[in-house]
Amino acid sequence: MIKRNLLVLGLATLLSACGFHLRGTGTNEMGIKELDIKARDAYGQTVNDLRSALERSGVKVVAGAPYTLNLTKEDENQRSATYTGSARSSEIELSLRLDYTITGDQQRVLIGDHMDVQKIYVHDSNNLAGSDQESARVRSEMHRELIQRMMLSLSRITPAQLEQLQAQADAKARADAAAEAEAQRIRDETPQQSPVEVPAQ
């Protein structure tokens, strides 16, 4: 019995050392230590849940952080996936999409991407109350999955990667500014032609 307990304890320690966690028992290790979050709906569920998840992972969510997570657009759509013989929907496909960017110094976009979640639930036209409950349950699951995917994506971003992206964005901005200045110089030095006057007949 003691040997078996020691074996289980040893396996658990080994798996933990490899980074394995049971679902819901661990948090993603975040390379980003400070982050601001902005969204059109500053008090919406998505931004609040993301803020809480980041803080639980040790990230300081503060205004004025070096990088900002911008939740630019969140869309939910549904469509009929299959039909019954009476042409009433029997399966509904729900889709949830979140567009986001990460900006750095001078609000320059360093990363732009989106997250998509799809699920199907059965709609029973003879049990509308039950179908509404199922729809609400599925939407709640989709929202949790969206937050989990966002956290996983953010956990893969390192400070070094963001610094490199910032340097590239700064270099591109300087090149664009230099090109615009040169184009303006050429416009300024180019004589303006007077309009051609057509003699009256």
Tell me whether residue 189 is in a domain.
no
Give every CB contact of residue 196 below 8 A, 6+ residues apart in sequence.
Answer: none
Number of structural domains in the chain: 1
Residue 200 is assigned to a structural domain of this protein: no
Any alpha helices (H) in 67-158, and if so which ranges?
128-155
Number of other residues whose CB lies within 10 A of the CB of residue 132: 11
Question: What is the average pLDDT across 14-33?
Answer: 54
162 belongs to a structural domain: yes
Paired tokens of 54: 């980041």
Tens digits of per-residue pLDDT, 45-73? 999 999 999 999 999 999 999 999 999 99
Domain of 118 in residue numbering reads as 32-176
Question: Does 194 map to a domain?
Answer: no
Q: Looking at the domain assignment, is residue 104 inside a domain?
A: yes
CATH code of the domain containing 108: 3.30.160.150
Tell me if 23 is assigned to some domain: no
Q: Is the pLDDT of residue 148 over 80?
A: yes
With respect to residue 91, please indicate whether it lies within any of the assigned structural domains: yes
Residue 112 backbone dihedrals phi, psi, to 5 degrees: -135, 125
Q: Is the pTM of this model over 0.85?
A: no
